[in-house]
Structure 1
């Protein structure tokens, strides 16, 4: 695995030209920082040990790794194999149907469940579990970007062109990074701003209760269905930013809380991380 910091730099360098895939680097780092601040001590110890195995210091250091794979020649095969795992295409409604929306687990919902199971399996090697942590941190962020559970026909609004800040863009990229960039804050300051709002209230669980990531995807999908998310005239106005940015920020806060809860659940005991092999 390449050094984490090199991957992050690649992600920043290619952001302007690469197709939009996820929250931008800023959003993913915010989710990771929010989660890290909410971890219980037992899970934090496990996370720290796994991070140390990759010479990373924080969840934010690994939060964007999954988006750099496609641009790293040494990881191109893994990037291609995991490309469908960054999103879920809901077919016809926002009610998640695994056989239709996530065939063979090839979507962000299936990916979160798959890699969380690897992360929590202490019989596996540290390398396998550390990689799973990378994916879990990233994919929990992804499923909370509403357009990652959007329309198949426009590739989650990658094909929906807009004018933003006087330049051509697409709606997916606006939600990835454009809305957040209007704050003109770096990740630590943005995280602090969101933390000042206090604990986020999680929506009530929806039956069936055996697949929380599916519910997260359904909730993201329903945001996409709100009137006005696709802007009239294809123009991102100041009014649009003021209306939609709070929704994006709430999604970041939900992602941070849910990521912390997931890590507490799969890592939250006092056993040591398994011996490397």
Structure 2
């Protein structure tokens, strides 16, 4: 048997192994994955005021008061992944699971109030938890919980498929191939593989102190604006990028060209999330009350 034949026979096993390894990565567990969420938190921490960094450390000292020994918060990166860690205890934290997203059909205009009954959506919970975090009359463990939720959900909302949907649960029902790796879905690719490639391939590194001009260009806005941006990206880029010129179906192939085109989009959203989280943290720990939130039905 020739070496070429052996290699051809081994290739399917190699592809299957790569797919299995990708699926086993913890980074595919939630929006932007653990790796992406940790990166947004590190960007945020590098760009907050020194006073904010000190205040965060004081709250994190109350980690054991959360009563989640299997989901510790020892730093801001831990805080950013804590709400996904809670998924292992659905009996206790299941009421929070709807807070991670606010998907809306990409063929319809984005509506802040849609898919948010009773405030159970990502935009409402970003604003709610920032207000809890800012309230110094509340116990430290309550504010620490709010810190983790706010930082995590602000990351979630920047992932386009947590706002845009094509009757496929934000891409979860779309079987997808990432390059030569099969067995994934469109949502998991944007959560994991694309986010990780965007972070690891970035030059200069994404985690750094950004200049005032960069922060002005990348930051600002509120959860409503961030959700509308993600919805537009899902409509105008994510789905067309996955399907090319073919009409949408329940299967997609991200070619190498599609992946190369998607990486800068993922990179920008990760950086925007980190810079904007920094802004929300600085506002929460600044003297004086936060502005009144927008009224919701």
Shorter-chain TM-score tier: 0.7 to 0.9
SS in structure 2 opposite 1:175? helix
Alpha carbons of 1:78 and 1:190: their partners in 2 closer, same or farther (altered >3 Å)? farther
Task: Quote the Cα distance in structure 1 between the aligned partners of 2:52 and 2:196.
Answer: 31
Q: 2:78 aligns with which of 61, 66, 88?
A: 61
1:90 to 88, 104, 115: 104
The corresponding residue for 1:39 is 48
Matches within 5 A, 1:55-204: 56-72=73-89, 76-91=90-105, 93-98=108-113, 100-151=114-165, 153-164=167-178, 165-182=180-197, 185=200, 193-195=205-207, 199-200=214-215, 201-202=217-218
Size of the alignment, in residue pairs?
Answer: 246
- Higher radius of gyration, 1 or 2: 2
CA distance in 1, matches of 2:127, 2:150: 9
Taking a change above 3 Å as real, the CA distance of residues 89 and 77 of structure 1, as seen in their structure-2 partners, is same
Q: What is the aligned counterpart of 2:243 among 221, 227, 231?
A: 231
Q: Distance in 1 between matches of 2:54 and 2:203?
A: 22
1:269 counterpart SS class: coil
Contact 2:23 2:184 in 1 (8 A): no
Counterpart pick for 2:258 among 240, 258, 264: 240
What 5-or-longer segments of structure 2 have no aligned partner? 1-20, 65-72, 247-251, 289-297
- The answer (yes or no) to whether the contact 2:198–2:266 under 8 Å persists in 1 is no
Give the Å deviation of 1:18. Answer: 11
For 2:108, what is the secondary structure of its paired residue? coil
More deviation, 193-202/111-120: 193-202
Question: How many angstroms apart in 2 are the aligned matches of 1:32 and 1:143?
Answer: 14
Gaps of 5+ in 1: 1-11, 206-211, 271-277
TM-score of the aligned structures, taking structure 2 as reference length: 0.74
Offset of residue 237 of structure 1: 1.2
d(CA) in 2 for partners of 1:42, 1:101 = 36
Contact map agreement 2:27 2:34 (CA 8 A) in 1: no
* TM, length-normalised to structure 1: 0.79
Distance 1:146 1:183 in 2: 15
CA distance in 2, matches of 1:191, 1:263: 26
Q: Which residue of 2 aligns with 1:23?
A: 32
- The verdict on how the C-alpha distance between 1:264 and 1:104 changes in structure 2, with shifts beyond 3 A counting, is same
The CA RMSD over aligned residues, in Å, is 2.9
